[in-house]
Structure 1
């Protein structure tokens, strides 16, 4: 095998914030009733189908773990990523409020009816995005006969920009980093009377981000059903990638609500150039802390420097471990999924979707990470869930990684 790769640049911290159950953040927003409403709304879409849960049996044997499942969100609504679940639900909830109705009374078809559109008038939704969230908002707005404006941070992919425009939105790449682009979108909403639909929460802006988090719940609601159908009660470990933390907070909130203290061990994974959650845990005062700069990482969907306040409360109280990963971890995961072993299915996973699997593979095969592996209690009985949140949403970069070996993880 040769010399082992130096992986000391993968950093982790075990959550040692001790709070009583009474002090911990509420996860009622992800309760069973909420999950049923969300799933019901998504089921009303003509495009709705349960996305695949792949069992990587051969890889599990190689990595000496009990099971590895990959939930493949590249199939979601034909948009190649999961983000549309949160964006569409938030848009639906906003429109339901304007109609003074509960969303459970409204199907997607009813919301895009001529009668409802005449009643609501013209609404413009605005957001900031690296690509996937903006495309989801653009798609939902277009489907419902409304308008959307999308701002993207500097360095964003032209392909992702064009995909958003193809869904009917006005879309622009700014010369700002992600967090400043969010501020720009918020400013434009105030100036123009638009509706900001952002998955980042801050003081005074929590309702819509919470709706977005609820919308993501369909992913785990499906996955837990699929795992149960395979004859397994639940996974022992879930690896969740994080940007501002809304996706991770949503998934963890669902798991806490469903399983309580019996929930899987949850590992939060971030790019080292945008590891605001890891750094916040490192400070250890219980507050969220931002990281600044260009946030330059191949994991574009996770290139966020400021934690969402709503999700931070959930993550700091319930996640077991936070990990800061260099880009080669995600790239390794992409290559493993694209080149499966034996009869394992191929999974086309983008940069942000593959980082959890890349980390699992290194934990299993690189002895320098044995301390972290022990902390996570990873062993031959571990049953691991990975959520591949996107496909090749930037095909050119996907080929650079998978074909040309960009960001190498060679030993």
Structure 2
């Protein structure tokens, strides 16, 4: 079922499958997630990020609860992306050292003995900012090098954050997907190691490890919810670019709750809604979105789904939403200006997209049909993940202070 309301597009997934009927979920088992968590815990910078309970906002929307996982506190890097890149780089070096996944630690990888054995390694990647910063930071921690490529229009603050780690950062005149191709071809020519969260034929191991790396945040969130007496969220909204983050979280939830999967909705910018467009196809084939992918949600400005995450999204996501930029901007403002008793959350353009769409569904009369289709009511326990903070302070001020991307009801 597809619904168009104003400029928001909603699609209910008619191909939804049960655990075991769709894409394989072995990569997202509890044992795999614990390996990932143990690796991240070996960094001295590791700390569990907050799960913020927004009781006043939940009351305003008429739902049971709203919980926001605040990834701006992750490793001091203001975003979750380091989880994926660091774990993939760790797994890659562990293979070179012939160390099993459950034995790899940051201490071992950054030791003088390891660097002597492996020699100098250069990691390459393309990014809108957060993923590249995570790769560059991890390379710095391991005493290695990083070459980072960014699409046109990259925010200066994001470039500066990358170069502050000692990495080389090149801003191209290309869109994100073409920047990925440039980074890959340059890496192949120079003998560098490509660390990218999107997959293509012949390049799947590293993107799979990156996806697994993201499981740290969801295994934390599930534990934090249980500490609050909530065995499972009833609804989860996940933002998507290539779909690696969304696929990892959904894969873990499908594996963890095989008989009672939460209602998971994928949220994308309408200028880069490759998951939504792929969901629309009759045969479930991957669709690419071309052009500049010009959206406020820079972290989601991806036109081609990752081939290894697509199967999980296709088979286990309950719905998909394509939305304009003002939805994310509203989410930023709502989280920044909380109701009485709620904690303030500084959430960036991509991080706040899901809060914005929940507001549209629950507070705007035009969202009533979507609300009914998703079964949102007074018993709903909603989990959102704010994937980034104000990674571009200038954009954050423009939106939150000066009303950029304002849309009146």
TM-score norm. by structure 2 comes to 0.98
* Runs of 4 or more consecutive aligned structure 1 residues displaced over 3 Å after TM superposition: 18-23
Counterpart in 2 of 1:391? Answer: 389
Counterpart in 2 of 1:330? Answer: 328
- From 232, 250, 253, the counterpart of 1:252: 250
Q: Distance in 2 between matches of 1:233 and 1:19?
A: 22
Counterpart in 1 of 2:226? Answer: 228
CA-based RMSD of the aligned residues comes to 1.1
Q: CA deviation at 1:174?
A: 0.2
Counterpart in 2 of 1:308? Answer: 306
Q: Distance in 1 between matches of 2:407 and 2:401?
A: 14
Counterpart in 1 of 2:198? Answer: 200
Deviations 1:148-197 (A, max 9, x none): 00000011111101110001110011000000000001101110111000
- From 123, 126, 146, the counterpart of 1:125: 123
* SS of residue in 2 equivalent to 1:218: helix
Answer yes or no: is the 8 Å Cα contact 1:217–1:254 preserved in 2: yes
Counterpart in 2 of 1:237? Answer: 235
1:112-151 residue pairs with structure 2 within 5 A? 112-151=110-149
Answer yes or no: is the 8 Å Cα contact 1:17–1:284 preserved in 2: no
Answer yes or no: is the 8 Å Cα contact 2:19–2:254 preserved in 1: no
Q: Distance in 2 between matches of 1:390 and 1:356?
A: 12
* SS of residue in 1 equivalent to 2:258: helix
Q: Distance in 1 between matches of 2:358 and 2:16?
A: 27
Q: CA deviation at 1:23?
A: 4.7
Is residue 281 of structure 2 the alignment partner of residue 292 of structure 1? no
Q: CA deviation at 1:20?
A: 7.1
Counterpart in 2 of 1:43? Answer: 41
Counterpart in 2 of 1:340? Answer: 338
Q: Distance in 1 between matches of 2:240 and 2:105?
A: 31
- 5+ residue gaps, structure 1, are 1-5
Q: CA deviation at 1:410?
A: 2.5
Q: Distance in 2 between matches of 1:32 and 1:388?
A: 23
Q: CA deviation at 1:106?
A: 2.5
Counterpart in 2 of 1:378? Answer: 376
Is residue 108 of structure 2 the alignment partner of residue 110 of structure 1? yes
Q: CA deviation at 1:7?
A: 5.0
Q: CA deviation at 1:22?
A: 5.1
Q: CA deviation at 1:261?
A: 2.9
- 5+ residue gaps, structure 2, are none
* SS of residue in 2 equivalent to 1:274: coil
Q: CA deviation at 1:317?
A: 0.4
- From 361, 364, 370, the counterpart of 1:363: 361
Counterpart in 2 of 1:3? Answer: none
Counterpart in 1 of 2:92? Answer: 94
Counterpart in 2 of 1:68? Answer: 66
CA pair 175-104 structure 1, distance change in 2 beyond 3 A? same
Answer yes or no: is the 8 Å Cα contact 1:128–1:185 preserved in 2: yes
Q: CA deviation at 1:283?
A: 2.1
Count matched residues: 406
Counterpart in 1 of 2:347? Answer: 349
* SS of residue in 1 equivalent to 2:406: coil
Answer yes or no: is the 8 Å Cα contact 1:200–1:244 preserved in 2: yes
Q: CA deviation at 1:76?
A: 0.2
Q: Distance in 2 between matches of 1:21 and 1:113?
A: 41
Is residue 23 of structure 2 the alignment partner of residue 30 of structure 1? no
Counterpart in 2 of 1:162? Answer: 160
* SS of residue in 2 equivalent to 1:336: helix
Q: Distance in 2 between matches of 1:261 and 1:325?
A: 30
Answer yes or no: is the 8 Å Cα contact 1:127–1:182 preserved in 2: yes
* SS of residue in 2 equivalent to 1:390: coil
Answer yes or no: is the 8 Å Cα contact 2:235–2:263 preserved in 1: yes
Q: Distance in 1 between matches of 2:344 and 2:55?
A: 12
